[in-house]
Structure 1
């Protein structure tokens, strides 16, 4: 079971497409949340923000409270050197935000020097004006020579949630271009892997991301953000359908509550053939129609292609 903790909205960067809403009532980790964590077996704790390294004293309290848990932190990398020894001591998976360009939207390049850390992942935001996946992968290859290790490309799509980041939402043309590239790149990855036994590491993140969605098997009322395998809390121990917006608080009856949200906003989700992979997408996105179009096309294609390889006996 994974529990994601939204540590707070403070950040030391100001990424142009960020969709977090500021929280004026930030608190320290509550006893209620500690209790929830300590009652979960086989626990993975993921720390997010804002920038979670700005809350490291609270993170240390969580690590002390559940020392046998697995830990993940999603960071912009500004404070990486400062806390790398702590992450190494507690075997953190460190996911660094890097968009595969000159990072002008972030204002910081985390891969400007060697990084001596074994458990490193990269999260890349795809947004309007930044959709050329081949160029991104090429930039990743150049960064590998600088940091001294391989990087795999784990893309996610920007969500327009307010007027400030609306200009970064994907257009219909963006969606079609992304679909074309996914079919080419992930299609070639599957052929190389399943037919010839060759794994292209730079494309593996794209394939793995889709495979995890295929295996999610979301039931109606489960979403990508809150489901049977994932719960998201703020520091007070309150669960929300979206930690970035935090306007729909959920109770223990979260699945029924999310069904009501979906039925009111996106009734078509109930009969969608790829809901089991999508989980409604970003239910807070103001460009949900574009995201729905992209997800339906992409997930339908992957389902058919992956199952074709399974039927031939090549895929596991």
Structure 2
């Protein structure tokens, strides 16, 4: 299945201080060229992002109408989720809600204030300086589970320093050390608990999945997490990019990996022979702290490679559960 991520635009009804998107002076609408591209695809998975994508529902509907056989997902802050719930349900959208779990939220909105009656929900949790304590985050998740009446899996991603505006929330080396240690501890508890007792701790499955899916990725040099042989990323006009949040390096539709490979060769030649590149895809190639992110991924995935060899059977069984 081919995966396409569409960046609809930069408008947002919240203002998270750590956000790494850069706004366009003029935002494009969904182009006829992009709709033609989508109509040609027979087996497509489409993900909508922003800004806040629910502010672009007219554009989303154009894409959905053009791809009746596709699967859809959306990453949203949840402010307008109730308004569009029925539409998402009717079109089988997988909805990823943003919730960081910090005791002092920078988002200004809590998407988990009442019973959540929706079958396909994930949670995106951003780790930034000041929000790296897994115990605190998991406590927050546990509180929300009692309110919404369902379990939540902790699926974190790290914030990326892309400007002076968000560098105050940059993760430092000590933050990364702590994140790796906690990640290792949680996944070890999950896997060894499953081996001993056959019990799956759902709370840690997001952390496990974050490692397991990268193991399956097998990125080749020139591919990144954002753009690879499975995933392409474009804006509403149908232009393809290395990164949708910055959109300052365009890629040709026909051979995006070839162009991206030349970019990687020029900027990060050491990635070519790195043991963990097949897992991390070169980290965030737009981050102003690429060296620190590289340090983080090397530590995390080097541990995972050794750990997975020792627990292969359990890991594959858990991977099959998701």
TM-score (norm: length of structure 2): 0.95
Q: Is the 8 A contact 1:218 1:276 kept in 2?
A: yes
- Matched with 2:85 is 84
- Matched with 1:261 is 263
Q: Secondary structure of 2:222's partner?
A: coil
The aligned length equals 314
Shift of 1:33: 0.8
- Matched with 1:156 is 157
- Matched with 1:136 is 137
Q: Is the 8 A contact 1:152 1:205 kept in 2?
A: yes
Shift of 1:103: 5.3
- Taking the aligned partners of 1:172 and 1:154, their CA distance within structure 2 comes to 21
Q: Deviations over 1:223-274 (max 9, x none)?
A: 1100011000100100000000000000122112111211222111111101
Shift of 1:183: 1.2
Q: Deviations over 1:174-211 (max 9, x none)?
A: 01111110111111111112343211000000001110
With 186-195 and 124-133 compared, the bigger mean Cα shift is at 186-195
Shift of 1:298: 0.2
- Matched with 1:109 is 110
Q: Is the 8 A contact 2:52 2:77 kept in 1?
A: yes
Structure 1 portions without partners, runs of 5+: none
- Taking the aligned partners of 2:191 and 2:137, their CA distance within structure 1 comes to 20
- Taking the aligned partners of 1:292 and 1:197, their CA distance within structure 2 comes to 35
- Taking the aligned partners of 1:194 and 1:280, their CA distance within structure 2 comes to 33
- Matched with 2:199 is 198
- Taking the aligned partners of 1:216 and 1:200, their CA distance within structure 2 comes to 24
- Matched with 1:33 is 34
Task: Indicate yes or no: 2:306 matched with 1:301.
Answer: no
- Matched with 2:65 is 64
- Taking the aligned partners of 2:29 and 2:248, their CA distance within structure 1 comes to 20
- Matched with 1:9 is 10
Shift of 1:300: 1.1
- Matched with 2:210 is 209
Q: Is the 8 A contact 2:156 2:207 kept in 1?
A: yes
- Taking the aligned partners of 2:291 and 2:255, their CA distance within structure 1 comes to 27
- Matched with 1:284 is 286
Q: Is the 8 A contact 1:195 1:314 kept in 2?
A: no
- Taking the aligned partners of 2:209 and 2:194, their CA distance within structure 1 comes to 12
Q: Is the 8 A contact 2:126 2:159 kept in 1?
A: yes
- Taking the aligned partners of 2:106 and 2:219, their CA distance within structure 1 comes to 33
Runs of 4 or more consecutive aligned structure 1 residues displaced over 4 Å after TM superposition: none
